[in-house]
């Protein structure tokens, strides 16, 4: 690629001619402030709107300031990123954004983690605003159980639009209107619950303000914990333990399992269980379903069904393929079903007084918990879902010194798990866990090498072939709904050669979920969380789901055979054809 010679702040350098001024400046450790800019290199997506004008620089010979994020370098270009004119231009841009922004920072969902707030401080914008005038006012949308839209706080950066349309290919959000009346909205301004939104929360993950945030369940959970007539149990997803520490200053990838358990007990939960137990249960059912389809010429490929964002995606986008995904509920829903049946009966607890709270890395789980088919006799399997971020907020509300908590163990019987269940939190983990069990059931031999490393990593679509007896099992793994679409379109066209496919809606799988600590697409953060997941797997005494003694006992005492009648009644579900709006 041809290189050009430029000067930035008096420093001469040569850079590829396709680079932007922002990219060139970063080569010499000059950080230009940005707001709307978002470069998700690992997801092959860049927000190129240049709408905020926060990154303006002065270029010799040009009359107007130029946005560094979209301005390409040119031979002989002389750039000043820190001139008085450039600094004034940035300050003016932020002041204009603030002039049409609510002043409720102290009670805002993103107070302390708002990019606009941080920029105002960085640029020295204090006291009375220079620009004042009419402010837009729109009704809030909290229809979806998962995502709250507050357009009064939207700065039209359109990061959410890039994530929704380019990465996830859902096409829910787009800019409409002109001038002062411009908004980012679903088609016809529909409430989110009436759209094909999957509630994956990736739009929330990249929103720089609180225009998009999760619908909080913190208040409702506190009420249940304070109620002496309720028996409140909590379960925690595998991805939570490798990200929660970030909310308390620990580096990404630091596993805090024991401290997390101690925190939940201090918050007042009557029992602290592990969704990993239900992940082992999921493998018992999903591996059985895979084997049943292979041996009875059933519909192939089988698709994993643990991810509610992915489930809603195929219900809207591929309703003609509803017979392909596994009928297994997601692990936290299986946990809720078993808790309100087997556990309640075994320990003589009134199911009407039993409250199940899930701590999840995911916003779609909030929507999933409200799906009417995921319950029994009008009682939902899971009552409330908290995100990783919400759990951290509760700890801070209760003034708990998280970092100095002594590590504790989960309660039994639904706190015991295997390494296979832990890796559910990373892309490729579900299908790897299923293979560990399916291999031994199909061959009748012990699988000595349980690490299917070819299914790991952050490549968008991964493939592997696993030889079991005289059969070669073709496997695919995808994370991110854009990659899922590629696989589903191949299946629809009759071009798929796979027997089993794992799909997760979020980049990296659950470790990159929309309810996790904000990572702004930083690939190293996702890698660190993933590594911590696999380290926890390696440290487990048991690494195959069917080895879990409490799972074996559950089948002996209550469920009968895996994939049997009782298991279908409690642990399996069905899917719904949905409109594509």
Write out the catalytic residue numbers.
Answer: 286, 289, 306, 326, 365, 368, 373, 510
Distance CA 295, CA 311 (A): 25
Distance CA 184, CA 42 (A): 25
Distance CA 80, CA 93 (A): 18
CA dihedral 430, 436, 440, 443 (to 10 degrees): 90
Pairing between β-strand 231-236 and β-strand 354-360 as defined by DSSP bridges: parallel
Distances 148 to 211, 216, 329 between C-alpha atoms, Å: 8, 9, 26
CA end-to-end distance (rounded Å), the chain: 43
- Quick check: 312 and 567 in contact, CB under 8 A? no
Distance CA 460, CA 523 (A): 13
Strand order in the sheet with 66-67: 11-16, 3-8, 78-80, 56-59, 66-67
CB-based burial of residue 47 (10 Å sphere; 0-12 exposed, 13-18 middle, 19+ buried)? buried
Instruction: Please calculate the CA angle 191-479-440 and round it to the nearest 5 degrees.
Output: 125
- Quick check: 537 and 338 in contact, CB under 8 A? no
Burial 404-426 (b: 16+ CB within 10 A, else e): ebeebebbebbbbbbbbbbbbbb
What are the tokens at 414?
């639904």
What's the alpha-carbon Rg for the chain, to the nearest Å?
Answer: 25
- CB contact set of 33 (below 8 Å; sequence gap of 6+): 54, 55, 90, 119, 122, 123
Residue 296 in 3-state DSSP?
coil
Residue 379 φ then ψ, to 5°? -110, 115
Distance CA 316, CA 575 (A): 10
- CB contact set of 119 (below 8 Å; sequence gap of 6+): 33, 35, 54, 94
Distance CA 126, CA 275 (A): 46
What are the tokens at 389?
């971020």
Distances 549 to 72, 214, 340, 415, 520 between C-alpha atoms, Å: 61, 37, 20, 11, 40
Distance CA 163, CA 183 (A): 16
CA dihedral 328, 329, 332, 333 (to 10 degrees): -140
- Other beta carbons within 10 Å of 491: 17
**DSSP H or E segment with residue 432:** helix 429-443
- The closest of 259, 234, 237 to 248, measured between CA atoms, is 259
CB-based burial of residue 399 (10 Å sphere; 0-12 exposed, 13-18 middle, 19+ buried)? exposed
């Amino acid at each position: 690629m041809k290189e050009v010679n430029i000067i930035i702040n008096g420093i001469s350098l040569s850079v590829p001619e396709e680079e932007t001024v922002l990219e060139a400046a970063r080569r010499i450790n000059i950080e230009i402030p940005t707001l709307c800019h978002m470069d998700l290199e690992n997801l092959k997506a860049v927000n190129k709107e240049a709408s905020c004008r926060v990154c303006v620089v002065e270029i010799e010979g040009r009359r107007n300031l130029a946005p560094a994020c979209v301005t390409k370098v040119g031979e002989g270009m002389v750039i000043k990123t820190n001139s008085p004119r450039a600094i004034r231009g940035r300050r003016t841009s932020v002041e204009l954004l603030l002039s049409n922004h609510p002043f409720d920072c102290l009670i805002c969902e993103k107070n302390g983690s708002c990019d606009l707030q941080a920029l105002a401080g960085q640029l020295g914008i204090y006291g009375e605003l220079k620009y004042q005038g009419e402010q837009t006012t729109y009704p809030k949308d909290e229809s979806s159980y998962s995502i709250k839209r507050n357009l009064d706080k939207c700065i039209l950066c359109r990061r959410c639009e890039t994530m929704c349309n380019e990465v996830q290919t859902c096409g829910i959000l787009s800019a409409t209107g002109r001038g002062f009346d411009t908004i980012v909205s679903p088609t016809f301004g529909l409430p989110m619950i009436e759209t094909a939104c999957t509630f994956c929360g990736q739009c929330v993950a990249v929103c720089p303000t609180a225009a998009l945030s999760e619908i909080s369940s913190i208040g409702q959970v506190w009420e249940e914990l304070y109620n002496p007539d309720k028996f409140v149990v909590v379960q925690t997803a595998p991805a939570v333990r490798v990200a929660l520490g970030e909310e308390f200053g620990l580096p990404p990838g630091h596993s805090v399992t024991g401290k997390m358990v101690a925190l939940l007990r201090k918050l007042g939960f009557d029992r602290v269980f592990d969704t990993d137990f239900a992940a082992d249960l999921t493998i018992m059912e999903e591996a059985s379903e895979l084997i049943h389809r292979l041996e009875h010429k059933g519909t192939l490929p089988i698709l994993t069904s643990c991810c509610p964002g992915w489930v809603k995606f195929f219900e809207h986008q591929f309703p003609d393929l509803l017979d392909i995904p596994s009928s297994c509920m997601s692990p936290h829903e299986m946990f809720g079903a078993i808790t309100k049946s087997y556990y309640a009966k075994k320990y003589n607890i009134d199911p009407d007084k039993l409250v199940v709270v899930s701590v999840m890395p995911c916003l779609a789980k909030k929507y999933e918990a409200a799906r009417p088919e995921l319950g029994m006799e009008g009682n939902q399997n899971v009552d409330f879902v908290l995100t990783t971020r919400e759990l951290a907020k509760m700890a801070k509300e209760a003034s708990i010194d998280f970092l100095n908590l002594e590590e504790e163990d989960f309660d039994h019987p639904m706190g015991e798990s295997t390494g296979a269940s832990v890796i559910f939190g990373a892309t490729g983990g579900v299908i790897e866990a299923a293979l560990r069990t399916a291999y031994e059931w199909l061959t009748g031999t012990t699988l000595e090498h349980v690490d299917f490393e070819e299914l790991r990593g952050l490549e968008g679509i991964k493939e592997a072939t696993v030889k079991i007896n005289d059969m070669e099992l073709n496997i695919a793994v995808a994370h991110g709904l854009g990659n899922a679409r590629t696989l589903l379109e191949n299946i629809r066209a009759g071009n798929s050669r796979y027997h089993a496919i794992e799909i997760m809606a979020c980049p990296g799988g659950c470790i990159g979920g929309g309810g996790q600590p904000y990572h702004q697409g930083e690939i190293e953060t996702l890698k660190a969380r993933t590594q911590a997941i696999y380290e926890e797997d390696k440290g487990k005494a048991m690494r195959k789901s069917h080895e879990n003694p409490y799972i074996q006992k559950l089948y002996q005492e209550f469920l009968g055979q895996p994939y049997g009648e009782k298991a279908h009644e409690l642990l399996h579900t069905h899917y719904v054809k949905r409109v594509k709006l």
